[in-house]
Homo-oligomer: A and B are copies of this chain.
Amino acid sequence: MSVLVVGSVAFDSIETPFGARREIVGGAATYFSLAASYFTKVGIVAAVGDDFRDDHLALLNRRGIDLSGLERAKGETFRWAGRYHFDLNTRDTLDTRLGVFADFKPKVPERLRKPGSLFLANIDPDLQHDVLTQVERPALVGCDTMNFWIEGKLDSLKRTLKKVDVLVINDGESRQLAGEPNLVRAAGAIRSMGPTTLIVKRGEFGAAAFSNSGIFAIPALLLDSVVDPTGAGDSFAGGFMGYLAKHAERKAIDDVMMRRAIAMGSVMASFCVQSFGVEGLLDLDPARIQQRYDDFRALSHIDGA
């Protein structure tokens, strides 16, 4: 089963206590597709400017990502600049320039209109909805969003959520979307809006999932070197959706598979944060991924009795 992602491709300028990078390739769709590419065939629908060069494209090409839906428009690629604080848990946005992303109207090319699964990364919920009307209903629809849309376009977001299977957002967004400080009750409210499953990204504290099977929660891997958290959430979503796309070919998505997929999302996020930008996602191999997945299972394992 393939996965199609719609979202941003961007140039990021990042400062952390461990160094800085200027105008490196980033964006939700980039992180997502690189992470997912280790599990399944991935296509991107996004827009970049005419400053997005062939060596930038090469990053995605190397991983065999279908770029037929990557529109090259006249103007500048979306740029974001941010600075992380000492403990990496908080950051300040220093600059945002939307460039061609301001007028982005996703157009899914003919060849990508029957995706096995679809991930609507964090963009305007009206655009997310528009994409859903362009494709044949995939077996699985995942979605991300943020406080900006919860505050500014709640009705549009709710219309999109009705067609979403898995919503992947963070703690604060979950509480805000539900208007409820208790996460368990917030999850109940959100699941009544459409998504069967809510996955709550908790940053360095891992993830929690709420579904018909109950509650699942895991910590994140504890790493002795974390240099740049940018893209961790999108890498998580890419590993998660990629794993499901790979394994749902042969069997239905049940609780066991869902838990493994969430663990694999955490594994891909852990590779992401150990290097700047997408670096940590470029040269992985199945053995390294499996090793870390095994480490991850061992991390929280409690022997019976």
Contact = CB atoms under 8 A, between A and B. Distances in A.
A216 B299 CA distance: 5
A303 B260 contact: yes
Contacts of A224: 182, 184-185
A173 to B, nearest CB: 13
A217 B215 contact: no
Interface stretch (A97-105, A156-164, A202-210): A202-210
B182 A205 contact: no
| Contact count band on A | 35 or more
Contacts of A300: 216-219, 300, 302
B222 A303 contact: no
A183 interface: yes
A302 B263 contact: yes
Interface string A216-248: 111110111110000000000000000000000
Contact of A222 (B17, B86, B215, B299): B215
A129 interface: no
A125 B3 CA distance: 57
Contacts of A91: none
Chain A facing B: main interface SS:
loop
A224 to B, nearest CB: 4
A87 interface: yes
A297 interface: yes
B260 A181 contact: no
Given A182-B225, A205-B206, A259-B302, 11 more contacts: A182-B226, A184-B223, A208-B219, A215-B299, A216-B299, A216-B300, A217-B299, A218-B302, A259-B303, A297-B302, A300-B302
Closest CB pairs A-B (n = 8): A217-B219, A205-B205, A184-B224, A300-B300, A256-B303, A87-B181, A259-B302, A184-B222
Interface of A: 17, 86-88, 175, 181-185, 202, 205-206, 208, 215-220, 222-226, 256, 259-260, 263, 297, 299-305
